[in-house]
Amino acid sequence: MAGYKIKDLEILTGIKAHTIRMWEKRYGILAPQRTVTQIRTYSDDDLILLLNVSLLNKNGYKISRIAQMNSSLIIQTSKQVQSQDIVNSSIEQFIVAVVKLDEHLFQKTFQELIQKSPLTEVFSDSIIPFLRRIGVMWLVGTINPAQEHFISNLIRQKIIAAIDSLPIPDQKKPVVLLHLPEHEWHEISLLIYHYQLRFQGTNSIYLGQALPYDSLLKTIQVLHPTTIISSWLTAVDPQEILDYFHNIQKDTQGINLYAGGYQIDQIEKLLPKTVKRIEMPSDLEVLL
């Protein structure tokens, strides 16, 4: 994808737009093209360069020093930093993999992460923060559907393989149901929650994407879960989310409700007190 606006760069790199403008003016870090209405536009190469600049800056390189390097040296130095601290550089690497549709880079970065850290930490420290960035990028149109599908499917394959490697939990334990509501198809975060629960031995059952509400109620009648977990990324009317929780509380009794995702973050203060917001998979450790 080319033709990024400065706001897109802010979302993708985590660098504030005013900082990018200052770096351009003072150090000539980037030289954006301009539209006929004088709006800055940036290429894929500009984005990748800025991601590498951001990584170096986070690792103690002053911007004045970085500005003295040419593009090749910036990328070369960035690779050296990445090899020393793969956890902190992984998000930038994953974003480059999205932009370039580079499966090799994704696999290389992921393998380096799991060689250094347990999979639960890889999900919490790298994949979840990356997914939050990707979620915002997708919502505002910074990445296109093909890029989002590309990276989501790669991550999904990893999580499902990890879940499949775990033993089936004791079915006598309390049941925890995970599902996505009817309009929702973005399942990566929910799969990570499922992995966390299975890893800790919880009897979790994953019901998948876009589950009709009446099917959820029928499943509740059969399995009698103690907890229901949902995830919300796609933009919907906040009242629809609140109605969902109200209906579950009306139609069931004594079930714990957990929810995560970008839309839940946006309406946190409106949520019923009985709904617990999930920020990280470790929030589910109480469901042993």
**Residues 240-287: tens digit of each pLDDT:** 999 999 999 999 988 999 999 888 888 888 888 889 998 888 888 877
pLDDT of residue 148: 86
pLDDT of residue 33: 82
- The mean per-residue pLDDT over the stretch 68-80 comes to 84
Find the angle CA(191)-CA(172)-CA(211) to the nearest 5 degrees: 35
pLDDT of residue 87: 65
Question: Would you say 29 and 23 are in contact if contact means Cβ atoms under 8 Å apart?
Answer: yes
pLDDT digits (tens, 9 = 90+) for 7-39: 888 877 888 889 999 998 888 888 888 877 878
Question: Would you say 270 and 182 are in contact if contact means Cβ atoms under 8 Å apart?
Answer: no
Residue type at 182 in one-letter notation? E
Where exactly are the structural domains of the chain? 1-84, 85-165, 169-286
pTM of the model: 0.79
Alpha helices in the chain (DSSP H): 6-13, 17-27, 44-58, 63-67, 71-84, 86-100, 103-116, 119-122, 128-140, 145-164, 188-199, 213-223, 238-251, 262-266
**Axis-axis angle for helices 145-164, 103-116 (nearest 10):** 40
Give the pLDDT band of residue 236 (cuts 50, 70, 90). Answer: confident
pLDDT digits (tens, 9 = 90+) for 135-147: 777 766 777 888 8
Question: Would you say 50 and 13 are in contact if contact means Cβ atoms under 8 Å apart?
Answer: yes
Question: Would you say 206 and 156 are in contact if contact means Cβ atoms under 8 Å apart?
Answer: no
Query: H-helix or E-strand containing 275?
Result: strand 275-277
pLDDT digits (tens, 9 = 90+) for 94-106: 988 998 899 999 9
- The mean per-residue pLDDT over the stretch 32-59 comes to 82
User: Regarding predicted confidence, which is higher, 180 or 63?
Assistant: 180
Question: Would you say 12 and 55 are in contact if contact means Cβ atoms under 8 Å apart?
Answer: no
Q: How far apart are CA 188 and CA 160, in angstroms?
A: 10
CATH superfamily of domain region 169-286: Cobalamin-binding domain (3.40.50.280)
Name the fold adopted by 85-165: 1.10.1240
Q: How far apart are CA 139 and CA 135, in angstroms?
A: 6
pLDDT of residue 273: 86
Q: What is the mean pLDDT of the chain?
A: 87
Sheet arrangement for strand 203-206: 203-206, 175-179, 227-231, 256-260, 275-277
Q: How far apart are CA 70 and CA 83, in angstroms?
A: 20
Q: How far apart are CA 132 and CA 278, in angstroms?
A: 13
Give the pLDDT band of residue 108 (cuts 50, 70, 90). Answer: very high
What SS3 class is residue 181? coil
**CATH label, 1-84, candidates 1.10.1660.10, 2.130.10.10, 1.20.1050.10, 3.40.50.2300:** 1.10.1660.10
